[in-house]
Structure 1
Amino acid sequence: MVTVLAALGLSLAACSTGGAGARDEGPARSEPVVSTSPSPTASAAVPPKKIDAVRLVKDDPKVSTAIKRDLKPCAGNSYPIDVTYGNLTGGASSDVVVNVQTCADAVGIGSYVYRAEGDKYENVFSAEEPASVYAEIDRGDLVVTKQMYEKGDSVAYPSGEEVITYHWTSSRFVETERTRSDFNNSVGAEPSAPPDAD
């Protein structure tokens, strides 16, 4: 009887042990995809209406000519674009977060937030980087991750990463937090000896 109770107790303890849950790792992606699923971390009063994100970006005067020129299908009709719907600006309809990436290595080159204004969408946030940028919704805030590169860095190994959090206030996004991580790219390198004291 004691053995059965002990086994039952261990089983219940294992079931009640909590984990960190799902984690968003940011911009890493193995291939360009188009995602049109609503964000699990935010909701809006009106369910998201699927939009033509490619046309939205190409018709946007705030998007650079270079990004519009490079926004072409990678294979067939598959564009290197990532779309998320969610509530960022407190509007009646879902906001749209669009990330434009490169075909070759899925590196983010442009991130945009569009707010529904009647039947149209207005660009209320833009971030364009030649290296890597990716925007996402986190608990109702906009989180933008930028990879930092120094001369000689390869795309796969940036020197650091900057994560910036924005919150919608009145009629614009306001930065509320910024963190930077520096990476050590010299794998297996021996630490240098301290200089001799004279």
Structure 2
Amino acid sequence: MRGLTGAGPARARSTARAATTATAVLAAAALFSAGCGTGGTGARDEGPARADSVASPAAPTAPPSRSPDRVDAVRLIKADPEVSPEVKRELEPCVADEYPVDVSYGNLTGGSVDDVVVNVLTCGDAVGVGSYVYRDRGGAYVNVFAAEEPPVYAEIDRGDLVVTKQVYDRGDPVSSPSGENVITYRWAAGRFSEEYRTHNDYGRVAGSEPTPMADG
């Protein structure tokens, strides 16, 4: 646009008058055409506008759940009468004031506030000894799910609660389970119900099978 800055005020006025004249001519022509096309009655001959030509307002959507403030998971577990005394005894600091708990937030029960999933682990091997889900009810969290058959671990997966329980054969060390059961729960009618489960065998590490001795 820098090429237009040197034209001066006179050129600007002549340009404005030309634009005004052209606009008036176009408006008159449009009015004349509209009068001829409607038989002299104007736009009223076309009737009311069709309902589908007006954009309908978008349907209201439910507000997403909000994440709660950080929850004191240790206090929540220790004050929960649904948690077994054995799990509470396991819940001790591993180093300084670091407790062996994993906490995650997500919408599992359809409430206005995200639910809280707490896993309690052992300090040495990080084996899950208890998994719990807490739901907001009137500003307080209540226990709506508990699994205390170690090793166990609960996670949120696309709105479902997925609980993994490791399986050991006789002689398996704690660090090497033989497989796992993965159970998916879904919230319905005020409680978690099992939807389906799968079992995975870990298999043996290659080379762990005994090699037969050659004859002779």
Q: State the TM-score, normalized to the length of structure 2.
A: 0.66
Q: How far off is 1:141 after superposition? A: 0.3
- Residue 141, structure 1, aligned to residue 141, structure 2: no
Gaps of 5+ in 1: 1-42, 194-198
Distance in structure 1 (CA, Å) of the matches to 2:206 and 2:94:
33
Q: How many residues align?
A: 150
Deviations 1:21-60 (A, max 9, x none): xxxxxxxxxxxxxxxxxxxxxx952222211100100011
* Match of residue 164 from structure 1: 183
From the CA coordinates, give the structure whose radius of gyration is larger.
2
Contact kept? 1:157, 1:185, Cα under 8 Å: no
Gaps of 5+ in 2: 1-62
* Match of residue 29 from structure 2: none
- Residue 78, structure 1, aligned to residue 103, structure 2: no
**Greater relative contact order, per chain length (Cα 8 Å cut-off, separation 6+):** 1
Q: Which has the higher helix share?
A: 2
Match of 1:151 among 152, 167, 170: 170
* Match of residue 147 from structure 2: 127
- Residue 182, structure 1, aligned to residue 182, structure 2: no
AA partner of residue 76 (structure 2):
L
Aligned identity (percent) is 61
Q: Equivalent residue of 1:124, what SS?
A: strand
* Match of residue 104 from structure 1: 124
Q: 1:185 to 1:90 in 2, by over 3 A?
A: same
Distance in structure 2 (CA, Å) of the matches to 1:149 and 1:62:
27
Q: Equivalent residue of 1:129, what SS?
A: coil
Contact kept? 2:91, 2:99, Cα under 8 Å: yes
Distance in structure 2 (CA, Å) of the matches to 1:177 and 1:136:
15
For residues 12-23 of structure 1, the aligned pairs below 5 Å read none
Identify the range of structure 1 (175-184 vs 106-115) with the bigger mean alpha-carbon deviation.
Answer: 175-184
Q: Equivalent residue of 1:46, what SS?
A: coil
Distance in structure 2 (CA, Å) of the matches to 1:95 and 1:44:
13
The alignment's C-alpha RMSD in Å is: 1.8
